[in-house]
C-alpha cells in the first residue's frame, strides 16, 4: 500500500522479505506474488504524510538526537483514529517517544520509579558491543587479565597492611581513581566528589571509613543509574553493610578492594548506558530543562508533519470561532482577544462528549466497493462530536483525564445536594465522624476517582453504590423533623438515578458553574514569572510564504533555551469560590483538577505561542531592517 501511494520504493529484497513474512503469518498463499492486493483490505485508513514521519526526519538535516530512550511499548498509545488504522512501525515509535517525553516533562512521577532521578530515564542497559565486533584476541584478553590481577593484588596487599598510614596512602590513590571515574556521572557540587577530592583525615580505622564512603558512592550511583542496574548495586550495598566490628583487617581490605573494583566497572558501564555522555554531570534542574526542550520541539515538529500549516491553521480558527459567548459573559472583555482560546477549551471540557484529537486519515483508492454494515458510505467518516484541533494532539490525553475529573466533581456535588446535611457547628461528634458531611463527600469522591483512574475493582462502581452512600448518610443525619423511612429512601434512590443524567437541571446547573469558574480562573492567570508573556526564544516554524523553494524550517532556539523551557508553568492563585462546590473535599479537588487544565494551557502557550497569538505558524514576519530585504522573518521580541 505504501508503494502504491508513492511513499516507498521497495527493492526486490524487500518484496521477498515481505512475501516470506506474509506466508509465515498465514496472510498469503505460497504462490502469492501480489503484495499490494493482499495488504490493501487489511489497511482501511492510513495517516497523511506517513512517508515523512520517521525518527530521522523530525529535525532539519536528518538530525534526531535523543537524550531520552522511551520504554518498549507495553500498552496501546493514547492516540485515537477515525477508523481501524494500521500505523507504520516507524510512526508508532515516533509517537511513543513523543508521548513519553511529554509525560517525562510534565508529570515525571508517572514514569519515574521510586527513588530514581531524571537521569536514570536517559540511560539504558549497555549492549554487548563486542558481540557485534567479534571476540577480542585471546592474547589481548590474557594480557589484560594479568595486568588487572597484578594491580588489584597489589591494592589488596597495601590495604591489608596493619599500618593505617600505609592504608591511607593507598586509599588516597584509589579515591583519585574513583573521583576521575565518577566526575562525568555526578554534578560538580555533589558531596561524593567533594569527599573523594579532599585529603583523607588521619584515623585509626581508614578501612571502615572507606566502607562508609563506598556506600555513599553506591547510593549516589543507584539514584542515577538505569533501572536495569538496580539489582547489581543493591547487592553491592548489602555487601558493604554486612561487616561487623569483629571483621579482621584482611576481610575489610578484601571488601574495600572488591567494592572499589566493582564501582569502577560500574561507572564504565553507566557511561555507556547514557545516551549522551555529558548529561551525567548535569544537575536535575538542568536535565529537566533539556527534557522539556526536547519534548516541546519534538511535539511541534511531529504535529506539523502530520498536519501541515495549510490544514492546521484553518482547523484552529474554526475551533476558536465555535466559542459559545452566551456561556461566558466575560468573553467580550478579555484582553488580549487571543486569550479567548482558553474559554473555548473550557467549553470543550464541559461538553458531554469526550474530547479527542484523532490522527489524520486518507481514503484508500479501491476500497469504495467495501460494504458497511451501518449503511454509511465508504470514506464518509464522521467527525467526533468534541474534536480538538491538531495542536492538542499530544496534550489531549491529559485533557480527557481532566474532563473526567470535572464530570466526577459535578456528580459529587449533585449527590451532596440531595442530602440534607446539617451545618458543621450543629453536627454531633458522631455525625462529624464516619457519617459526617466531609466523610460522605470523601467516600463519594473516592468511588468516582477510582473509576476515573481505572483502579482495580473500580469497574464495579455503579449507581447503586452511590445511592447506598446517599441513603447511608441520610439515615445518619435523620432526626424527628426529617426522618428517613422507606418512602424517603425510595425517593432518594430515584433522585440519585435522575441526578446522574447529563440532562438533569441540577447536573447542568452545577456543570455550568464549574466550567465558568474554570474559565475565569484560566483567563485571570498572570503572565509568566519572567515578566514577559512573550518568550525571548519562541518555538516556531518559518513557513516561507511567498518564497518558493524555501521549505519550512524549524527554529530550535538553542541560543538561550532557558528563556523558553524554564518556568513554563505560571504561578496561579486558588480557584474562585463556586456555588455548590463549597465542601472542603470539593474545594480541594477542584483546585487539583483546575491545575491539571492550567498546566496544559501553560504548555500550549509556550509550544504554540505563534499560532495562538497570530493564528499562523511562525506568525507574521517583522519588517526587514534597512538594507535587508528578502530575509527570513523573525519572531517578535
Helix pair 249-273, 164-182: axis angle to 10 deg:
10
Average the pLDDT over each of 192-206, 240-254, 337-351, 448-462 and give the range with the smallest value. 448-462
State the average pLDDT over residues 70-89. 56
Beta-strand ranges (E) seen in 373-444 are none
Q: What percent of the chain has pLDDT over 70?
A: 62
Q: Are 331 and 145 in contact (CB under 8 A)?
A: no
555-558 contact pairs (CB < 8 A, 24+) = 555/635, 556/59, 556/297, 558/293
Task: Report residue 147's pLDDT band, with 50, 70 and 90 as the boundaries.
Answer: confident
461-465 contact pairs (CB < 8 A, 24+) = 463/496, 463/497, 463/500
Question: CA angle at residue 597 from 592 to 599, to 5 degrees?
Answer: 90
Cis, bond preceding 336 (omega within 30 deg of 0)? yes
Average the pLDDT over each of 225-239, 281-295, 428-442 and give the range with the smallest value. 428-442
Smallest CA-to-CA distance from 263 within 237, 300, 243, 297 is with 237
The whole-angstrom separation of Cα 218 and Cα 213 is 9
Looking at the predicted structure, is the pLDDT value of residue 371 above 50?
no
Average the pLDDT over each of 27-31, 134-138, 302-306, 625-629 and give the range with the smallest value. 625-629
Looking at the predicted structure, is the pLDDT value of residue 462 above 60?
yes
Task: Report residue 403's pLDDT band, with 50, 70 and 90 as the boundaries.
Answer: very high
Give me the pLDDT at residue 458, please: 52
For residue 45, what are the β-bridge partners? Answer: 363
Give me the pLDDT at residue 4, please: 53
Q: Are 58 and 94 in contact (CB under 8 A)?
A: yes
Task: Report residue 459's pLDDT band, with 50, 70 and 90 as the boundaries.
Answer: low
Average the pLDDT over each of 126-135, 396-405, 471-480, 603-612 and give the range with the smallest value. 126-135
Neighbouring C-beta atoms of residue 349, cutoff 10 Å: 25
Q: Between the CA of residue 544 and those of 48, 203, 273, 632, 637, what are the distances in Å? A: 21, 71, 41, 8, 20
Each residue of 545-586: pLDDT tens digit? 444 444 443 343 444 444 455 667 778 888 889 999 998 999
Give me the pLDDT at residue 61, please: 40
Each residue of 217-263: pLDDT tens digit? 999 998 888 777 888 899 999 988 877 777 888 989 999 999 999 99
Each residue of 491-550: pLDDT tens digit? 888 888 888 888 889 899 999 999 999 999 998 877 655 444 444 444 544 434 444 444
Pairing of strands 45-46, 540-542: unpaired
Task: Report residue 601's pLDDT band, with 50, 70 and 90 as the boundaries.
Answer: very high
State the average pLDDT over residues 162-186. 89
The whole-angstrom separation of Cα 467 and Cα 463 is 6
Give me the pLDDT at residue 271, please: 79
Each residue of 6-62: pLDDT tens digit? 545 566 666 666 666 556 555 554 444 443 443 333 333 333 333 322 333 343 343
DSSP 362: E
Each residue of 309-350: pLDDT tens digit? 999 999 999 999 999 989 998 888 888 888 899 999 999 999
List of residues 6+ apart from 224 with CB closer than 8 A: 117, 119, 120, 123, 185, 186, 270, 280
Amino acid at each position: 500500500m505504501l508503494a502504491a501511494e508513492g511513499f516507498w520504493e521497495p527493492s526486490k529484497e524487500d518484496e521477498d522479505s515481505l512475501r516470506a513474512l506474509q506466508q509465515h503469518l498465514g496472510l498469503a498463499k505460497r504462490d502469492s506474488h501480489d503484495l499490494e492486493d493482499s495488504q490493501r483490505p487489511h489497511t482501511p485508513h492510513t495517516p497523511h504524510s506517513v512517508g515523512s514521519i520517521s525518527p530521522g526526519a523530525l529535525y532539519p538535516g536528518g538530525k534526531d538526537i535523543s537524550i531520552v530512550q522511551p520504554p518498549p511499548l507495553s500498552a496501546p498509545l493514547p492516540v485515537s483514529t477515525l477508523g481501524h488504522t494500521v500505523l507504520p512501525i516507524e510512526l508508532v515509535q515516533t509517537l511513543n517517544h513523543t508521548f513519553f517525553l511529554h509525560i517525562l516533562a510534565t508529570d515525571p512521577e508517572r514514569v519515574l520509579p521510586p527513588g530514581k532521578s531524571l537521569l536514570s530515564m536517559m540511560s539504558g542497559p549497555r549492549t554487548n558491543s563486542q558481540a557485534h565486533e567479534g571476540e577480542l584476541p585471546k592474547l589481548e584478553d590474557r594480557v589484560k587479565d594479568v595486568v588487572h590481577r597484578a594491580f588489584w593484588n597489589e591494592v589488596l596487599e597495601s590495604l591489608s597492611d596493619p599500618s593505617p598510614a600505609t592504608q591511607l596512602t593507598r586509599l588516597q590513590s584509589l579515591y583519585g581513581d574513583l573521583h576521575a571515574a565518577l566526575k562525568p556521572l555526578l554534578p560538580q557540587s555533589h558531596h561524593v566528589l567533594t569527599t573523594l577530592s579532599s585529603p583523607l583525615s588521619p584515623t585509626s580505622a581508614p578501612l571502615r571509613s572507606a566502607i562508609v564512603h563506598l556506600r555513599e558512592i553506591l547510593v549516589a550511583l543507584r539514584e542515577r543509574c538505569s533501572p536495569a542496574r538496580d539489582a547489581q548495586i543493591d547487592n553491592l550495598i548489602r555487601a558493604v553493610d554486612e561487616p561487623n566490628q569483629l571483621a579482621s583487617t584482611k576481610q575489610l581490605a578484601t571488601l574495600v578492594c572488591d567494592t572499589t573494583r566493582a564501582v569502577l566497572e560500574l561507572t564504565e558501564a553507566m557511561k555507556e548506558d547514557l545516551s549522551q555522555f555529558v548529561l551525567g554531570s548535569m544537575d536535575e534542574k538542568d536535565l529537566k530543562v533539556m527534557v522539556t526542550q526536547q519534548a516541546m520541539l519534538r511535539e511541534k515538529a511531529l504535529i506539523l508533519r502530520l498536519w501541515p500549516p495549510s490544514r492546521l491553521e484553518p482547523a484552529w480558527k474554526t475551533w476558536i470561532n465555535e466559542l459559545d459567548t452566551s456561556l461566558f459573559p466575560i468573553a467580550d472583555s478579555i484582553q488580549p482577544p487571543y486569550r479567548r482560546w482558553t474559554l473555548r477549551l473550557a467549553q470543550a471540557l464541559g461538553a458531554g462528549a469526550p474530547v479527542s484529537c484523532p490522527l489524520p486519515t486518507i481514503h484508500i483508492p479501491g476500497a469504495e466497493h467495501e460494504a458497511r454494515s451501518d449503511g454509511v458510505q465508504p470514506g464518509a467518516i464522521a467527525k467526533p462530536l468534541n474534536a480538538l484541533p491538531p495542536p492538542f494532539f499530544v496534550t489531549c490525553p491529559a485533557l480527557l483525564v481532566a474532563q473526567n475529573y470535572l464530570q466526577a466533581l459535578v456528580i459529587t456535588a449533585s449527590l451532596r445536594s440531595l442530602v440534607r446535611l446539617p451545618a458543621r457547628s450543629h453536627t454531633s461528634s458522631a455525625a462529624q465522624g464516619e457519617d459526617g458531611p466531609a466523610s460522605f463527600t470523601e467516600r463519594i469522591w473516592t468511588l468516582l476517582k477510582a473509576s476515573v483512574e481505572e483502579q482495580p475493582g473500580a469497574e464495579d462502581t455503579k449507581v447503586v453504590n452511590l445511592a447506598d452512600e446517599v441513603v447511608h448518610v441520610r439515615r445518619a443525619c435523620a432526626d424527628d423533623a426529617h426522618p428517613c423511612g422507606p418512602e424517603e429512601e425510595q425517593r432518594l434512590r430515584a433522585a440519585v438515578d435522575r441526578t446522574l443524567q447529563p440532562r438533569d437541571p441540577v447536573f447542568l446547573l452545577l456543570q455550568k458553574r464549574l466550567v465558568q469558574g474554570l474559565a475565569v480562573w484560566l483567563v485571570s492567570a498572570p503572565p509568566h514569572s519572567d515578566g514577559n508573556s512573550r518568550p525571548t526564544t519562541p518555538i516556531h516554524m518559518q513557513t516561507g510564504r511567498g518564497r518558493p523553494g524555501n521549505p519550512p524550517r524549524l527554529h530550535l532556539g538553542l541560543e538561550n533555551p532557558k528563556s523558553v523551557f524554564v518556568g513554563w508553568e505560571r504561578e496561579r492563585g486558588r480557584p474562585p469560590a463556586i456555588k455548590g462546590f463549597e465542601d472542603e473535599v470539593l474545594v480541594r479537588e477542584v483546585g487539583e483538577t483546575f491545575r491539571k487544565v492550567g498546566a496544559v494551557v501553560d504548555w500550549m502557550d509556550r509550544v504554540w505561542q505563534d499560532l495562538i497569538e497570530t493564528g499562523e505558524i511562525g506568525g507574521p514576519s517583522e519588517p526587514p531592517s534597512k538594507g535587508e530585504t528578502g530575509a527570513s522573518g523573525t519572531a517578535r521580541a
